Structure 1
Amino acid sequence: MRKILIAALMGLLLASCSSTLTPKRETYSQLYRERPITILALPPINKSTKVEAKELFYSSLTVPIAEKGYYVMPPLLSMEIMKEESVYDSELLLNNSMKRVGDAFGVDAVLFTIIHDWRKTTIAGQVTVSIEYILKSAKTDEILFNRKGNITLSNNVNTGNALGNIVGSMIATALTKEISVGRSCNYYTFGDMPTGKYSPNFDKDADTPALQKEFTINLQNSY
């Protein structure tokens, strides 16, 4: 897991060198205007064929957002309140006003995640995820932040011969914790998010160049 995250952070640094010259204050102008403090992360909308992807991914969202300086509602508490409010299905909320949700949870913004792809290809030695992130204001219904990440992790095992490498990669992929790839996608995505009130860098990144709205990254996990 640590190797993957280190590779993710290094890739993010390299990606920043080739980003657009548009500063964050322009790309995320609405977020800078509203300055949300509290965020509700809704259960992911799963459009992949991986049924368990929704549960695997949901719990991984809070840490990277909190590290950017925002308060994130705990997932378990959020799910209980959503059930009480009869709004458990995120799909039903995506195109509706967030004001009711904001009032019910006492949050400034609501995060939607859409899992477009989540698959493990054992023969090819790869794990692929494609996730879209949409942060909507609970006050104005404006989109504050929107990015999509496509990440593929390839497991390369060097045994000294071609057949051994193929078999080794298959075994490594079978053992790979898929959630670690999802977490890497989170860190890449939220790496470009303007910092929140609880970050020491709050309001200091407005002139930093914004990264691409959609990105594709290939990670290598060597054994």
Structure 2
Amino acid sequence: MRHFVRAIAITVVALIATGCATTQPTYDYTALEASKPRSILVIPPINNSVAVNAPYIYLSTISAPLAEKGYYVFPVAVIEQFLTSNGLQSPADMHNISLEKIREHINPDAVLYVTIQDWGQKYHVVDSTTVVNTELKLVDAKTGHILWTAKAALAQGANNGGGGLAGMLISAVVNQVIGSVSDRTPQVSAIANNIAINHRNLGLLPGPYAAKN
């Protein structure tokens, strides 16, 4: 009987340990809740990928999910033009602007810095994958405190794998030809941003303009 009880106890402990292991962590929102930003300025991304057009495509996919989350987002194209016309020719220069200067000329509540680590369509022998890998950091424009960080990353394959080896090879060729004409990175980037911003435990908290349920 004693061995039976012991076996049950070990099983319960194992189940609890398994449950703890699968529990997703929750982001520490202390700084974000204290700051309560209403407006967000998105600085043009630093691009560490080989895709030269990645920053421009990325900027077209970030405003909507932030606005839908309840924040005012400064128009990204206007901001980029403003920074460029004031002598900042690269995203690296823009990322090095002091928060004091940003507040003086634009005055946002928070600033979003983005780094693109990987981007584009990767072609393999029998498959192709569209990859988007970015890192986001939201900073309080007054204090410089980090309010929220996230990784928006997604790899989406295009091959359905049907028709055997011959079918896969034909599909890969077709995907490469289509991919050279139709870029899927805008769609993949939009999905990645939506997942990161709306993640249940790690996403961005709703802003002051969020729709009330």
Give the TM-score, by structure 1 length: 0.73
Q: Does 1:156 align with 2:159?
A: yes
1:70 aligns with: 71
- AA aligned to 2:147 is L
CA distance in 2 between partners of 1:99 and 1:89 (Å): 19
CA distance in 2 between partners of 1:93 and 1:83 (Å): 9
Q: Does 1:197 align with 2:208?
A: yes
Among candidates 149, 165, 168, match of residue 168 of structure 2: 165
CA distance in 2 between partners of 1:103 and 1:51 (Å): 31
Q: Does 1:188 align with 2:163?
A: no
Q: More deviation in 85-94 or 184-193? A: 85-94
CA distance in 2 between partners of 1:129 and 1:84 (Å): 29
Contact 1:133 1:148 in 2 (8 A): yes
Ranges of 4+ aligned residues in structure 1 off by more than 6 Å: none
- Flag the 1:80–1:94 CA change in 2: closer, same or farther, 3 A: closer
SS in 1 for 2:158: strand
* Larger Rg, first or second structure (1 or 2): 2
Q: Does 1:179 align with 2:179?
A: no
Higher RCO structure, 1 or 2 (CA under 8 Å, sep 6+): 1
Question: Runs of 5+ in structure 2 lacking a partner?
Answer: 1-21
Report Cα offsets for 1:171-209 as digits up to 9, x if no partner: 23524521111111111111110010001359xxxxxxx
Contact 1:195 1:201 in 2 (8 A): no
- AA aligned to 2:32 is L
- AA aligned to 1:139 is K
Contact 1:157 1:169 in 2 (8 A): no
% identical equivalent positions = 26
2:139 aligns with: 136
Q: Does 1:55 align with 2:56?
A: yes
Among candidates 125, 136, 160, match of residue 128 of structure 2: 125
1:38 aligns with: 39
**Aligned-residue CA RMSD in angstroms?**
2.2
SS in 2 for 1:106: coil
- AA aligned to 2:38 is I
Deviation at 1:93, TM superposition (A): 4.5
Query: Number of residues paired by the alignment?
Result: 182
Higher normalized helix content (fraction of residues): 2
- Flag the 1:176–1:89 CA change in 2: closer, same or farther, 3 A: closer
SS in 2 for 1:107: coil
- Flag the 1:64–1:88 CA change in 2: closer, same or farther, 3 A: farther
CA distance in 2 between partners of 1:157 and 1:200 (Å): 38
- AA aligned to 1:132 is E
Question: Runs of 5+ in structure 1 lacking a partner?
Answer: 1-16, 203-223
Deviation at 1:103, TM superposition (A): 2.5
